[in-house]
Chains A and B, each alone.
Chain A
Amino acid sequence: MDPLGVTFLKALALCTVLLGAFAYMTLIERRLLGRMQHRYGPNRLGPFGLLQPIADAIKSVFKEDIVVSAADRFVYVLAPMISITFALAAFGAIPGGPAGSLFGFDPWIVDLDIGLLYVLAVTSIGVYGIFLGGWASNSKYPLLGSLRSSAQIISYELGLGLSVLSVIMIAGTLNLRAIVELNVWSVSPWLWPPLAVAFGAFVISAIAEVNRTPFDLPEAEQEIVAGYLTEYSSIKWALYQMAEYVNMMTASAFISTLFLGGYKGPTVLEPWIPGISDWPIVWLVAKMALFMFLFIWLRATLPRLRYDQLMRFGWVYLFEVALAAALVTGAVIAFVL
């Protein structure tokens, strides 16, 4: 356990890194989308467009901050703050390496015994930002967007919750660090099928959680203009964008932590570079990058679902599949192991 001052500094550093990563994720996303779509993407500002995010940041700060006159002002201003605050807060519980590996300090902000529940709960609160923002705008398109996001959350949260059940049962703990140290795949080959299913269900739910294509219904541009974002401008709009990307990163880190061994590297490299699998941060970032790429790839490929289709998908398939995976895991643990 680090002293309070160090924890505070670490939290500050994490926020800075996450927001910086957000800025460069937008660039990476635009460049990758460009690649996939026979065009260049932003490449004018600096080498490879590396200064583009800075220009975008300056632009969004200096844009006129319009507050809708009919809006519920307090909630309208509060909503983007809720989104970004809880997006950032969720990341704090995710361990970045073994204890004391970051220059003698622990590479996490807080090590909770209920870390898994904490991340699930805090990311769920983020939806209130979207919902309240859409409602407080007092405008029709945002209202539709916020209604959609509430319809969406009740559809995927069940699948999300049930698919982690397998991991919890196998690990027997809610502590994320303990889950990483155990590595759920190493327990028994009998558990691989239900774990694989739970992993798939969790990834799909996570995409819905972060409002990405094909589940980007709350801001479906072609239907409801920009959904809950329609009436937001300037820095408030940027806060929502930050929240979206930070949520993507949290989701990627969370998936990696639960299912892919989190901060642990592959031990096959150990004979050549001793200790490589215990390097802090590196492996987690590498695994996150994998999922971030997946999110962008999906965005370039898939059309959007309709919201009733998403609900049916959530309740009929995701829920059932995740439940089945949990049941099979339970049965394997009870009767085989």
Chain B
Amino acid sequence: MTLGSGGGGNVMVVSEEHGPFDTKHMRINVGPQHPSTHGVLRLVVDLDGERIVHIVPHIGYLHTGFEKTMEHRTYQQCVTYSNRMDYLHGFGHDLAYVEGVERLMDAQVPIRAHRVRVILNELNRIASHLVFFGTGILDMGALTLFFYTMREREQILDLFEQVCGVRMNYGYFRVGGLYRDIPEGFEERVRAFVDGFPKMMDQYATMFMKNDIFVSRTKGVGLIDAETALAYGLTGPSLRASGVPLDFRKAQPYARYDDYDFDVVTSDAGDAFARFEVRFREMRESLRIVEQALDMLEPGPVQDPDRRISLPPRHELEESMEAVIFHFKLVTEGFHPPSGAVYVPTESARGELGYYLVSDGGSMPYRVKVRVPSLINLQSLEPACKGGLFADMVVNIASLDPVLGDVDK
């Protein structure tokens, strides 16, 4: 069909790839370079006026082949890949991965390592939610909150930097524990953050949760009822916003999450506002967990003493031949989990996250399949957007909180 009569008189061939072409509707391509698709998400949208009649997400623009690469790395080396998928909640990915391998190996993780992992994971969850709020409201045209949430996220990243030297791709967790113990004074700094953060949250609340325009832009928008949500495999805060109290920290506790007293935040509304609200209230629960974990934090080792998993300390190498052998074996080929398969579902900031690992007894995983929440949550975009307005689409994308690194992996 021809589009336009002026100027060059171009002829545009419209592909029928997305179903028969309907001249009543306008087919518009959104992304992969678009200001608010949260990365390289591409959507093909059929519009009737500004009403969405059909929407097809296209993914794969950020495909990096992490799963396949991990099959060619030793189990310990894989930790450098897991956190790169969901770059906003890297500790969640690291945790999901090491939990899987540890269960495969039956490793004995020291309790201090568990506590530190939970502290970092929950702080990372808050940091991830902060990006969610900032970008979410940015998609509605309000610029300032983004800078405010980034300010607080910066504090969290500073904490991470003190722990592992980097702000993004942590690689701090090890199978059997941690790379090293937390630095001195870290607990106090976390406590200072935990004490100061609720005040900032009140500021956010006045800036957007109570903002009439924000409420009218999100209330009743992108409705996903519990049944649809479950049918589409939606998990995480977005599912809890539809009234299903599924939280793997409670449902299948890992990393000793059963030691902590926290609530699973739910809402029955199932709209975009509920998805924002659930995450907002969840940050308070995360703070509660961090506080409790700090209280329970006791001195002790942070690495499984089993020499088949953990490197021997430096001084042992000078005294014990055996330690040198273990060291050599671990460094050159890594450890060998018994053959078998494992899947540990964990609760990332976005939903159910689990590593399906198959071991053939070798030092590298035979198969790695990651159940990433962003990819599966993104399916719910269609029921959320259909029949809604084009402007609501960006709100829906934001409220489902996809990370494209996590989607395409």
Contacts and interface: CB of A to CB of B under 8 A. Distances in A.
Interface string B1-44: 00111111110100000000000001010000011100000000
Given A69-B8, A144-B50, A304 B144 contact: no
Interface stretch (A78-86, A133-141, A232-240): A133-141
B320 interface: no
Interface string B123-158: 000000000000001111111101110010000000
Contact of B142 (A76, A140, A301): A301
A216 B144 contact: no
Contacts, number: 116
A291 B12 CA distance: 46
B213 A305 contact: yes
B389 A306 contact: yes
B394 interface: yes
Contacts of A302: 141-142, 211, 213
Interface in A110-165: 136, 138, 140-141, 143-144, 147-148
B144 A300 contact: yes
B282 interface: no
B9 to A, nearest CB: 8
B7 A37 contact: no
Nearest to B34: A225
Contacts of B71: none
B216 interface: yes
B232 interface: no
Interface string A294-310: 00000111111111110
Contacts of B12: 70
Given A141-B28, A221-B35, A222-B36, A299 B143 contact: yes
Interface string B378-394: 00000000000111111
B144 A301 contact: yes
Interface in A205-223: 213-214, 216, 220-223
Given A71-B6, A222-B138, A309 B394 contact: no
Contact of A39 (B34, B50, B139, B147): B147
B217 interface: yes
B204 interface: no
A76 B353 CA distance: 50
B221 to A, nearest CB: 9
Nearest to A136: B6
A73 to B, nearest CB: 5
A304 B213 contact: yes
B193 interface: no
B213 A308 contact: no
Interface residues of A, number: 43
B10 A220 contact: no
A308 B34 CA distance: 23
Contacts of A76: 6-7
Interface string A58-96: 000000000111111111100000000000000000000
B260 interface: no
B208 interface: yes
Contact of B10 (A69, A75, A222): A69
Given A70-B4, A73-B6, A140-B26, A38 B213 contact: no
A36 interface: yes
Given A303-B208, A306-B389, A68 B144 contact: no
Contact of B7 (A68, A144, A304): A68
B214 interface: yes
| Interface size class, chain B | 35 or more
A138 B2 CA distance: 12
B211 A37 contact: no
Given A68-B7, A73-B7, A136-B6, A306 B214 contact: no
Contacts of B142: 213, 301-304
A37 B144 contact: yes
A224 interface: yes
Interface in B180-233: 207-208, 211, 213-214, 216-217
A74 B7 CA distance: 9
Given A38-B147, A38-B148, A222-B394, A213 B141 contact: yes
B147 A304 contact: no
Contacts of B49: 147
A69 B7 contact: yes
Contact of B140 (A71, A73, A147, A222): A222
A328 interface: no
Nearest to A222: B36
Contacts of A71: 4, 6-7
B294 to A, nearest CB: 28
Given A36-B144, A223-B36, A305-B213, A70 B10 contact: yes
Given A70-B4, A138-B3, A37 B143 contact: yes
Interface in A24-62: 33, 36-39
B227 to A, nearest CB: 27
A143 B49 CA distance: 10
Contacts of B4: 70-72, 138
Nearest to B2: A70
Task: Name, among A67, A224, A299, A309, the residue most crowded by chain B CB atoms within 10 Å (CB to CB).
Answer: A224
A34 to B, nearest CB: 9
A155 B147 CA distance: 33
Given A223-B36, A303-B213, A33 B389 contact: no
Contacts of B216: 305-306, 309
Given A70-B12, A138-B7, 10 more contacts: A71-B6, A138-B6, A140-B26, A140-B28, A224-B390, A225-B34, A303-B211, A303-B214, A306-B392, A308-B389
> Which 8 pairs of residues, A with B, have the shortest CB-CB distance?
A304-B141, A72-B6, A69-B8, A303-B140, A303-B142, A37-B147, A222-B36, A138-B4
Interface of A: 33, 36-39, 67-76, 136, 138, 140-141, 143-144, 147-148, 213-214, 216, 220-225, 299-309
25 contacts: A37-B144, A37-B147, A38-B147, A68-B7, A69-B7, A70-B9, A72-B7, A74-B6, A76-B7, A140-B26, A148-B50, A214-B141, A214-B213, A224-B390, A299-B143, A300-B143, A301-B144, A303-B211, A303-B213, A303-B217, A304-B141, A304-B142, A304-B217, A306-B216, A307-B391
Interface of B: 3-10, 12, 26, 28, 34-36, 47, 49-50, 137-144, 146-148, 151, 207-208, 211, 213-214, 216-217, 389-394
